[in-house]
Amino acid sequence: MDLLQELHPRARRIAAALRDRGEKVAVADGATGGLIAASLLTVPGALEFYVGGGIVYSFRARDVLFDLPREAYRGMRGASEDYALLQARAIRDNFGAEWGIAESGSVGGSSHPSGAPAGRSVAAVVGPDSFCRIGTIETESDDRIANMEAFTRNALAALEEALKAGGS
């Protein structure tokens, strides 16, 4: 089955929850390469709940999308909870959304700049009233494509669970 077709029912549920709340989400795809946003955009009328985002795959992209000083990352490593949480807050705030989701991971096939092992991904979701949820996955695989798919599933599951559990 095609990944986007597989994830479409979850994306519809996420969209419905956001629409019901009158809220929007911004997405910072990392090792998922845009698959989180693409999944959400399979839902017709996505402008009602999706405000935008980007793929954070380099330091330059990180600097542009998050507009944070380099010092904000001091002591942090990629594919970690604090790193993903900082990015989720920044994408939410910079795009003026109620919710932000950021994924940071190491998909494999090459070495990660921070030394994170292939198959690790952290998805951080932040919402209203200081709500946050973090979903971590360790596939222990070096299969780049399979990891991108697993990381996207994990991130969307974290977002769906967050919408059920918290916020305004």
**Domain boundary assignment for the chain:** 3-165
Local structure of 70: helix, strand or coil: helix
> What stretch of H or E contains 66?
helix 59-66
Work out the average pLDDT over 109-136.
Answer: 83
- Name which of 10-14, 98-102, 130-134, 153-157 the model is least confident about: 130-134
Cα distances from 156 to residues 63, 115, 162, in angstroms, run 24, 25, 10
Separation CA 108–CA 42 (nearest Å)? 27
The top-scoring range by mean pLDDT among 58-72, 118-132, 145-159 is 145-159
Work out the average pLDDT over 46-73.
Answer: 89
Give bridge partners of residue 102 from the DSSP assignment. 28, 124
Choose among 8, 3, 57, 49: nearest CA to 26. 49
Provide the pLDDT confidence category of residue 141 given band limits of 50, 70 and 90.
very high
Q: What is the pTM of this model?
A: 0.92
pLDDT over 90 (residue 84): yes
- Asked if 81 and 120 touch (Cβ cutoff 8 Å), the reply is no
pLDDT over 90 (residue 152): yes
pLDDT over 70 (residue 87): yes
Average pLDDT, the chain: 90
**pLDDT score at 34:** 95
The strand pair at 25-29 and 99-106 is best described as parallel
Read off the pLDDT of residues 32-41 as tens digits, 9 standing for 90 and up.
999 999 999 9
**pLDDT score at 75:** 82
Task: Taking the CA atoms of 23, 165, 101 and 69 in sequence, report the sign of the dihedral they define.
Answer: positive
Residue 78 burial (CB < 10 Å; 0-12/13-18/19+)?
Answer: buried
pLDDT over 70 (residue 168): no
The CATH H-level (homologous superfamily) assignment of domain 3-165 is CinA-like (3.90.950.20)
1 contact partners, CB below 8 Å, separation of at least 6? none
**pLDDT score at 118:** 82
**pLDDT score at 109:** 67
- Asked if 161 and 133 touch (Cβ cutoff 8 Å), the reply is yes
Query: What is the secondary structure of 92-118 as a DSSP string?
Result: HHHHT-SEEEEEEEE-SSS--TT-PPT
